[in-house]
Amino acid sequence: MSRPAILVVAPMPPFPTSAGNRRRLLTTCAALQGGGFDVDLATYAHEDQVYRRFGQHPPTDEAAAAALFRHTFRIEPAGTIPLTTRARCFGIDDWCPGEVDAFVDWYGRTYPDTRAILMNYVFLSRALEAAPPGFLKLIDTHDRFADRQHQYRPFRAEPNFFYTDRAGEAAGLARADIALAIQSEEAAYFRTITARRVHLLPPRFPARRPFTAPARLARIGFIGHGNDPNLFSIRRFAAAWAEDWAPGRPELVIAGEIGTSLGQASGPGLRLMGYVPELDAFYDAVDLVVAPMLMGSGLKMKVAEALSFGKPVIGTALGFEGFQPVIPEHRGRTSAEVKEQVLALTSDADGLARLSRACADLFAGYNARAEAAETDLLALLRSHPTDPAPGLHGSPLPDGEVCGLSGQEVLASSAGRLPDTEVTPDTLVLAGGTLTRETSLRSNLTDDPDLGRLVATERDAPPGAGPYSPLRRRWFAKVQKAQHGKVGRAGATPDHGLAGLRLALSPEWVRDPRLPDAFRAELATHLAALRPDWEAEARLVGLTGSGAILALSLPRHLATGPHPNAAFLVSPTSRALTLERVTPLTAAPALAYATARADLPPAPACLTFAGVSAPPGPATILFLHDDLVGRIRIAAPAPDETAS
């Protein structure tokens, strides 16, 4: 008998598991699979946008996901999700684009025998209303979002993630049959705002190593994703740690994506380890882990992970929320207090042994509660009515028929089982190198040893791949001397090149121009043919010693302050330009501006470019930003080099 299926929708991928919300997604899916359910995973590409807007490559491994789940889908948003709002808070649906609703509607018609839909995050709850009658509807809340912005006040910062009010959060939860809470304090809160069933489901972390008490502390560690709670918390702790550090005290090792957000942070007693592909490397390098969390909601996955590796942990009460802490080392209030607790145990072998025993007891109790909650949820899913209307589609499992695998065993059983989806690359040889199109599920990469540097990824699935396929075409550029027009494989030139494509540029293309300028300019000629996110007509209004001033309308956020960019004057002999200044205007020029995206309203400005020159007649500037492609058409002739 076929296994019943559950659709899981999330705004982040599960692989690589470099952040707490990804770990939560993966452990929940593994629990469902271990309980006898097939899981279809749909990833809404929201995190891709966030990473690109901060100049980082989106860490995504579609091949690993395809190896683990029955079906995988990718939902591409048409617009940009706002990271800020002028209102008091976000409306509950401000981060739920119509593309997610459309996918759920399509999926329900395509796979009507699915038993349930699990939506990750309450801000995507509206899409639950698109599910057909009979689907059991669940929301994995991950965090409490009502009034979350208030946590930023002590840090004099503005949030760049979702937050709403109690009424909005309650309205979102009301769309589900069951709300999953990640820890007990938040479960209690959700029960005060909704009549829906709230089920506590902490993620289970099987022990990976036994606890071993260090005799002395030589190195303490912190590992985490580069989100605001981690960033603000570790910055304060690192500053406190370095303030009076002296030889003989432990070194603070900071690892993970948080290193990118910290930049060049340094100080005595600090070491940035960077991203570690294997967690063992980090935990082998430290004797104790700190969790000096000062803000954030949900469960601090870094605490559970450290305990699973048998490492003692010292942290704040907020860092241990959901773990039921009892000892002072798990109930600190400030960075300074966590620091003093670490220093007090640095050379205290007996104290470190006591701490390790307390951490082992804490972890065992936590996992026992998590396992019981997981068992209860699976029983609830299996016992739900399955009649097509008004119950559920699909067939229930016979009594006693479960997969019998733990979540970790499910993950292990899929290792190495990658789908055969790669297509032989098509290469166009240019004057300065090659431009290669490759079709595959490979996604967690910036360079390929054979194809070169990643330039862009097509947003749309390749023709024939099917709706919402995660399969993508990617374009690579490699420098080499070659004869222009020759193709790398007979009859294999990429049809029509980049003309009309919707591309997500690699952030390195804008922020890290490693390719030679002449080759980048040659590639810009091909990029100019793709479908822009916005297009504007500009008028030459002045000259400078090195270039020209253009008046135009452009996306509003680009008219206020500098943004990382790359610009090219596109012509038979294209060349790179330098944006020297952006000057907002009070009145819009009578020039055309076009975009199909509601999130890119126009604003008038003057752009001063160095290096603008062109033959008489109209000229085109390709204006590239993180995750945005703009095309500027100069209505008046640009000055030639001698005139400028």
| Per-residue pLDDT reduced to its tens digit, 555-568 | 998 998 778 899 99
CATH fold group of domain 5-201+385-413: Rossmann fold (3.40.50)
Predicted pLDDT of residue 415: 40
Neighbours of 449 (CB within 10 A): 6
In the chain, what is the greatest distance between 2 CA atoms, to the nearest angstrom?
A: 85
**Mean pLDDT confidence for 126-150:** 94
Check: CB of residue 431 under 8 Å from CB of residue 484: yes
Same fold, 5-201+385-413 and 219-355: yes
**Mean pLDDT confidence for 117-140:** 96
Q: How many CA atoms lie within 13 A of 106 on its CB side?
A: 14
Residues 6+ apart with CB under 8 A from 263: none
Predicted pLDDT of residue 190: 97
How does pLDDT run across 80-119, given as a tens digit for each residue? 888 888 899 999 999 999 999 999 999 999 999 999 999 9
Predicted pLDDT of residue 402: 33
The pairing of beta strand 534-543 with beta strand 628-634: parallel
484 has a pLDDT exceeding 60: no
Q: What is the pTM of this model?
A: 0.83
521 versus 384: the higher-pLDDT residue is: 521
Please give the Cα distance from 421 to 68 (Å, whole number): 15
Tokens representing 540? 């030459």
**Mean pLDDT confidence for 606-630:** 81
Q: Please name the residue that has the structure tokens 């241990």.
A: 320
**Could you give the percent of the chain with pLDDT greater than 90?**
56
4 versus 389: the higher-pLDDT residue is: 4
Q: Which of 259-273, 445-459, 465-479, 484-498 tops mean pLDDT?
A: 465-479
**Mean pLDDT confidence for 190-206:** 95
46 φψ region: left (φ > 0), alpha (ψ -120 to 50), beta (else): alpha
* CA torsion, ordered 208, 209, 213, 216, to nearest 10 deg: -90
Handedness of CA 264, 269, 273, 274 (dihedral sign): negative
Predicted pLDDT of residue 408: 44
530 versus 283: the higher-pLDDT residue is: 283
Looking at domain 534-634, its CATH architecture is: Sandwich (2.60)
Q: Please name the residue that has the structure tokens 């690579």.
A: 476
How does pLDDT run across 199-250, given as a tens digit for each residue? 999 999 989 999 999 999 999 999 988 788 888 899 999 999 999 999 999 9
Neighbours of 564 (CB within 10 A): 15
597 versus 488: the higher-pLDDT residue is: 597
How deeply is 146 buried, as exposed, middle or buried, from its count of CB atoms within 10 A (0-12, 13-18, 19+)? Answer: buried
**Mean pLDDT confidence for 467-492:** 71
49 has a pLDDT exceeding 60: yes
Residue ranges in 384-457 assigned as alpha helix (H): 407-413
Neighbours of 118 (CB within 10 A): 25
Q: Which of 294-298, 422-426, 622-626, 640-644 tops mean pLDDT?
A: 622-626
70 has a pLDDT exceeding 90: yes
Per-domain residue ranges for the chain?
5-201+385-413, 219-355, 423-509, 534-634
Q: How far is CA 98 from CA 75, 125, 188, 461, 474, in A?
A: 11, 12, 32, 18, 26
How does pLDDT run across 402-444, given as a tens digit for each residue? 333 344 444 444 443 444 456 678 888 888 899 999 999 988 7
Predicted pLDDT of residue 494: 53
Predicted pLDDT of residue 590: 86
Predicted pLDDT of residue 508: 74
Check: CB of residue 218 under 8 Å from CB of residue 287: yes
Predicted pLDDT of residue 278: 86
Predicted pLDDT of residue 1: 60
CATH class assigned to 219-355: alpha beta
The average confidence (pLDDT) of the chain is: 86
**Mean pLDDT confidence for 136-149:** 94
Tokens representing 217? 């502390």
Nearest to 302 by CA among 57, 33, 17, 59: 17
Predicted pLDDT of residue 218: 95
